[in-house]
Amino acid sequence: MTGSSAVGPHPFETGLEPGPANHVPLSPVSFLARAAAAQGGAVAVVDGARRITYAELHARCRRLAAALAAWGIGRLDTVAILSGNTPEMIEAHFAVPMLGAVLNPLNTRLDAATLAASLAHGGARLLVVDADYAALAAEALAHEALAGTGAEIRVVAAGAAIGLPPGTRAYEDLIAAGDPDFACPGPADEWQSLCLLYTSGTTGDPKGAVYSHRGAYLQALGNALAFGLAQDSVYLWTLPMFHCNGWSYPWAVVAAGGTQVCLRKVDPAAIFRLVAEHRVTHLCGAPIVLAMLVNAPPEVRVPFAQTVRCATGGAAPPSTTLRDMEALGFRVTHLYGATESYGPATLCLPGPDWAELDPETRYGRMARQGAALPTLEAVRVVDPETRAPVPRDGAHVGEIVLRGNTVMKGYLKNSAATQAALGDGWYRTGDLAVWHPDGAVEIKDRAKDIIISGGENISSLEIEEVLTRHPAVMLAAVVAKPDPTWGETPCAFLELKPGAAASAPEILDFCRARLARFKLPRSILFGPLPKTATGKIQKFVLRERARAGEGPDG
Ligand code: ADP
């Protein structure tokens, strides 16, 4: 008898239904219960002299969840948090989803008006405030953008926060009051919303990307695998945790059973000291953080014996930064992604021929954005018009699109933007790239950043890459400047290394030897560059200044 002639349901489809024994909603919250059970005495979090074991972390998170539940916070309530990289921030990443509530980490470098607008848009019911940001939070809570909405936001203060509204409760009081054995409801299903993250607004108005428990679970495992996290990993917080949940590492490190070391402010001296002191094995940071490390004065560069893996992304890392980091003893992994893809979506994998490549070529390869993380379904480069994949020839430029379980659910209360981003079955990144024969994508520009001069497309990244090879240049940003003859011409803004000097003609000579004539910057301006909280250069600000003929700092 063959299967095809049998009547009734197929044996593989009957009596094999999912049940509690074999089907549990995927949620990153479960990593903590498992780590506490498996290695309760191991150190989960280091903060200055403080140590929190996995057993303690689990109990504290359950206590916090219990206290919040007793205070009326429950399923799908938005819990915002305004904090640096603190233990409370890590705890919130578990305690809030344990309740089935939605965590909304806020960017600490935003102004009060924007924060108030985010709190109103996200429907925050509770705000956890770290003492360092108490004044900013108080201003945001009192702001008219919030006052007019009639929203009632409960406030929890971590540390000695002063100036917050009456009725504010102390974080440690809540922890003390909560039941450590609280039976956390968790998510009802894995598609339930877990987090709300506003995009940093590099190219326009911030939008609120919504993540699911399932997506965060997979993203954390994908990153733990790609970055080689294990039980003996020591992860230093040099990336803001409010940015795409710190690329999922509050969960990824717990999944691996490693240790997280808190750091409130990116300061090269503190980073080198902590790396040596705690034998840090992993850290992440935007290219600008790496630039700060390689340009740190020699006296703060404490030597360390271990190999430190450093993942970078969020903006294109210049190949010189990659080279200089390796010279300092860091092993660099290049990642690419967006808020909409829970942070990292691709990573640049070393090719089999890398060992034989000359250093300049190899660092050029490392600057490519690479191929999909194991937990992303697919990445493609497609023709902007036909939406068909471009040839994998390293020459055709198209848009990067992503598909898989680690793409956001959509934007909160913005179906038009959700449709535009996800509607054709792929997430449209707006990043222009070529696709190489080995499967790696290489970004040429953001669609909005490309410069069109005399009908030719010029990649701002290509010019920036050349400019950062000049020994005096620390950061470079190139934008389009309107031009009556050419339409647009490249305008370069340069931030020089501390103590370094260079003139515009000298920089131009340097570029002449390395760039086609039509790509040469027509204007070169010097000064500190405006950056977002995540260390990205605000090109829209520079475009305005280029238009107005102003210097970088206005
Ligand atoms: P925003 O869009 O407001 O800047 P995101 O953090 O979501 O906020 O930024 C995602 C974008 O950052 C990507 O679409 C891409 O343009 C840029 N980006 C991220 N990683 C890289 C990288 N490794 N190389 C080049 N660009 C990157």
Q: Going residue by residue through the chain (554 aa), what tens digit of pLDDT does each one get?
A: 444 556 788 999 899 999 999 999 999 999 999 999 999 999 999 999 999 999 999 999 999 999 999 999 999 999 999 999 999 999 999 999 999 999 999 999 888 988 999 999 999 999 999 999 999 999 999 999 888 788 899 999 999 888 999 999 999 999 999 999 999 999 999 999 999 999 865 555 679 999 999 999 999 999 999 999 999 999 999 999 999 999 999 999 999 999 999 999 999 999 999 999 999 999 999 998 999 999 999 999 999 999 999 999 988 899 999 999 999 999 999 999 999 999 999 999 999 999 999 998 999 999 999 999 999 999 999 999 999 999 999 999 999 999 999 999 999 999 999 999 999 999 999 999 999 999 999 999 888 898 988 888 899 999 999 999 999 999 999 999 998 888 899 999 999 998 999 999 999 999 999 998 989 999 999 999 998 767 788 898 999 999 887 766 65
Pocket test for ligand 1, best of 290, 426, 427, 443 (most atoms within 8 A of CB): 443
What does the alpha-carbon distance between residue 346 and residue 375 come to, in Å, rounded to a whole number?
10
Inter-CA distances, 54 with 37, 149, 522, 548, Å: 8, 40, 57, 55
* Distance in angstroms between the alpha carbons of the first and the last residue of the chain: 81
At the topology level, CATH places domain 450-548 in: GMP Synthetase; Chain A, domain 3 (3.30.300)
The reply to whether 30-213 and 450-548 are identical in fold is no
Smallest CA separation from ligand 1 atom 19, residue: 314
Name the helix (H) or strand (E) containing 482: strand 473-483
Ligand 1 pocket (Cβ < 6 Å) reads 199-203, 313-316, 334, 336-339, 369, 429, 431, 443, 446, 536
Q: How far is the CA of 227 from the centre of ligand 1 (A)?
A: 19
Counting from 1 in the atom list of ligand 1, the atom nearest the Cα of 244 is 6
Q: How far is the CA of 192 from the centre of ligand 1 (A)?
A: 26
Smallest CA separation from ligand 1 atom 27, residue: 315
Written as six digits, the tokens of 329 are: 């003893």
Q: How far is the CA of 151 from the centre of ligand 1 (A)?
A: 32
Counting from 1 in the atom list of ligand 1, the atom nearest the Cα of 446 is 16
Q: What is the pLDDT of residue 202?
A: 56
Can you give the residue ranges of every domain in the chain? 30-213, 266-447, 450-548
Counting from 1 in the atom list of ligand 1, the atom nearest the Cα of 201 is 3
Q: How far is the CA of 284 from the centre of ligand 1 (A)?
A: 15
At the topology level, CATH places domain 266-447 in: Rossmann fold (3.40.50)
Written as six digits, the tokens of 139 are: 């201003």
Nearest 5°: CA angle at 363, between 357 and 365?
75
**Strand 487-496 relative to strand 473-483: parallel, antiparallel, unpaired?**
antiparallel
Q: What is the pLDDT of residue 161?
A: 83
User: For residue 189, what is the DSSP state?
Assistant: S
Q: What is the pLDDT of residue 1?
A: 44
**Cα torsion through 49, 103, 255, 350, rounded to 10:** -100
Q: What is the pLDDT of residue 316?
A: 87
Q: What is the pLDDT of residue 527?
A: 94
What is the dotted CATH code of the domain comprising 30-213?
3.40.50.12780
Inter-CA distances, 174 with 66, 104, 133, Å: 9, 19, 19
Name the 3-class secondary structure at 540: helix
Give bridge partners of residue 288 from the DSSP assignment.
none
Pocket test for ligand 1, best of 431, 468, 534, 541 (most atoms within 8 A of CB): 431
Pocket test for ligand 1, best of 223, 247, 339, 428 (most atoms within 8 A of CB): 339
Q: What is the pLDDT of residue 2?
A: 47
Beta strands in 314-361 (DSSP E): 330-338, 343-347
